[in-house]
Amino acid sequence: MRSEVPLGGRLTTPVGFGGSSLMTSGDRTRSVAMLEAAYDAGIRHFDVAP
């Protein structure tokens, strides 16, 4: 998924990863694994708003 689209004057991927629930999951190892998997899949837009 290395296509990119403009967003706010920057280029980002058309699919993002919503990560607000990662902070409350209680399982840091699993949270990091999910972030790494998303990044490895080509996702570069990470929404971290609570």
Please report the pLDDT score of residue 38 as a whole number: 93
Residue pLDDT, tens place only, 21-46 = 887 878 889 999 999 999 999 888 89
Please report the pLDDT score of residue 13 as a whole number: 83
Report the alpha-carbon distance of residue 43 to residue 17 in Å, rounded: 7
CB neighbours of 45 closer than 8 A, spacing ≥ 6? 7, 12, 13, 15, 16, 17
Q: Specify whether the CB–CB gap between 38 and 46 falls below 8 A.
A: yes
Please report the pLDDT score of residue 4 as a whole number: 83
Tokens 């971290």 belong to residue: 48
The vertex-29 CA angle with 48 and 46, nearest 5°, equals 20
pLDDT score of 2 more than 70:
no
